[in-house]
C-alpha cells in the first residue's frame, strides 16, 4: 500500500485522530521516528491540499475523496486479486494467497462498513465457489498424503540399498572422535584449494603437496581435526578429507560428511 493510502486508512479507521497518535501508528513501517515524521508531514500536506483529508486543530478527518481513494485501492488489491485467484483453472494451488486476502478483507470489513459494502458488490465468485475450492483442496491433501507415503517407502529403500547421504554437525571433540572411527583406511587424501594453507598443512604432517592435495596417515587425522578446530584463520571451506568411500568437508564451525548412508548414519548419532 502506498504512503498516501496508508495514512488515509489510518485516519479512516480512527476518525479525528490527532497528529501524535497518527505518527505512532504510521511509524511502525519505518526504521526510525524521524524518517516517519518527515514522510508523514509531507504526505499530510499533500492530502489536505488536494482534498483527501481535512484538518481541524490538531485532528484529521477523511473526506469523500479520501474514502473513494481507499476503496479503489482495496478493491484493486483485495477484490480484484481474489477474483483473479478464484477464476484460475486450479485455485486450490494458490490457497495461501486466497486465505490471506480473504482474511484481510474480512478483518477490515468488520471495522469499515464502506469497504465491506464495496467488497460485497465487487466479488465475482460465491461462497459455493470457495466451498468447491475447499473440497478440491481436501482431495489434493489426500493425494499428497498418498505421494508422501510412497516417498517415505522410496527413501527407506534407498537407505537399505546404501545410497549416498550427507550430514552436517558442529566440529568438536565428539564429532571429531566419530569421524576418526569412520575413516578406516591407513592413508587418506587431504584436499585444499588455498595454496598457502595446503603447503603449511602438508609440511606440518611431513607430507608433500601435489595437485592441491597431500596424503595423510590415518593416525594423524585426529591431530588435523584439532588443528582445524583451533585455528580460525584457516579458509576451512576449501579443506576436505577423502577416503575411497567417504568425504569430510570443513566450513567452520561445522563439518559435513558425505558417503554411503550406512556410514553417514553413524556420524548422525
pLDDT tens string 105-139: 888 788 777 777 777 888 889 999 999 999 999 99
- Cα atoms found within 13 Å of the Cα of residue 250, Cβ hemisphere only: 28
pLDDT given for residue 70 in this prediction: 78
- Considering the segment(s) 3-62 as one domain, its CATH architecture is Orthogonal Bundle (1.10)
Contact of 252 with 245, CB cutoff 8 Å: no
- Tell me the C-alpha distance between 45 and 16, whole Å: 16
pLDDT given for residue 1 in this prediction: 54
Name the pLDDT band for 233 (thresholds 50, 70, 90): low
Q: Is the model more confident about 164 or about 105? A: 164
Length of the chain: 269
**Has residue 232 got a pLDDT over 70?**
no
What are 250's three cell numbers?
570443513
Judged by DSSP in three states, 161 sits in coil
- How confident is the model over 82-110, as pLDDT tens digits? 989 999 999 999 999 999 989 988 887 88
Residues of the chain with CATH 1.10.10: 3-62
What is the C-alpha radius of gyration for the chain, rounded to an integer number of angstroms? Answer: 32
Q: Tell me the whole-structure pTM to 2 decimals.
A: 0.63
Q: How far is CA 122 from CA 194, 205, 253, in A?
A: 64, 76, 56
Range list of H helices, the chain: 3-13, 19-26, 33-49, 64-74, 80-87, 95-111, 113-122, 127-160, 173-182, 195-204, 221-230, 261-268
Instruction: Provide the angle, in degrees to the nearest 10, between the axes of the packed helices 173-182 and 221-230.
Output: 150
What are 19's three cell numbers?
497528529
Amino acid at each position: 500500500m502506498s504512503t498516501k493510502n496508508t495514512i488515509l486508512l489510518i485516519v479512516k479507521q480512527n476518525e479525528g485522530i490527532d497528529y501524535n497518535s497518527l505518527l505512532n501508528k504510521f511509524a511502525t513501517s519505518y526504521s526510525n521516528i524521524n524518517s516517519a515524521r518527515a514522510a508523514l508531514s509531507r504526505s499530510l500536506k499533500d492530502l489536505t491540499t488536494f482534498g483527501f483529508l481535512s484538518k481541524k486543530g490538531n485532528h484529521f478527518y477523511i473526506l469523500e475523496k479520501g474514502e473513494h481513494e481507499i476503496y479503489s485501492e482495496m478493491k484493486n488489491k483485495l477484490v480484484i486479486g481474489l477474483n483473479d485467484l478464484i477464476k484460475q483453472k486450479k485455485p486450490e494451488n494458490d490457497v495461501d494467497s486466497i486465505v490471506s486476502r480473504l482474511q484481510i478483507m474480512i478483518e477490515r470489513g468488520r471495522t469499515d462498513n464502506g469497504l465491506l459494502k464495496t467488497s460485497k458488490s465487487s466479488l465475482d465468485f460465491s461462497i459455493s465457489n470457495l466451498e468447491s475450492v475447499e473440497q478440491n483442496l481436501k482431495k489434493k491433501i489426500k493425494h499428497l498424503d498418498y505421494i508422501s507415503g510412497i516417498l517415505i517407502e522410496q527413501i527407506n529403500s534407498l537407505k537399505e540399498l546404501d545410497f549416498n547421504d550427507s550430514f552436517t554437525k558442529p566440529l568438536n571433540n565428539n564429532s571429531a572422535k566419530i569421524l576418526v572411527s569412520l575413516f578406516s583406511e591407513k592413508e587418506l587424501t587431504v584436499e585444499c584449494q588455498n595454496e598457502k594453507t595446503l603447503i603449511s598443512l602438508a609440511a606440518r604432517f611431513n607430507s608433500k603437496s601435489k595437485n592441491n592435495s597431500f596424503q595423510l596417515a590415518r593416525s594423524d587425522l585426529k591431530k588435523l581435526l584439532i588443528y582445524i578446530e583451533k585455528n580460525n584463520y584457516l579458509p576451512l571451506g576449501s579443506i576436505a578429507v577423502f577416503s575411497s568411500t567417504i568425504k569430510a568437508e570443513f566450513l567452520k564451525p561445522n563439518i559435513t560428511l558425505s558417503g554411503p548412508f550406512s556410514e553417514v548414519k553413524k556420524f548422525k548419532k
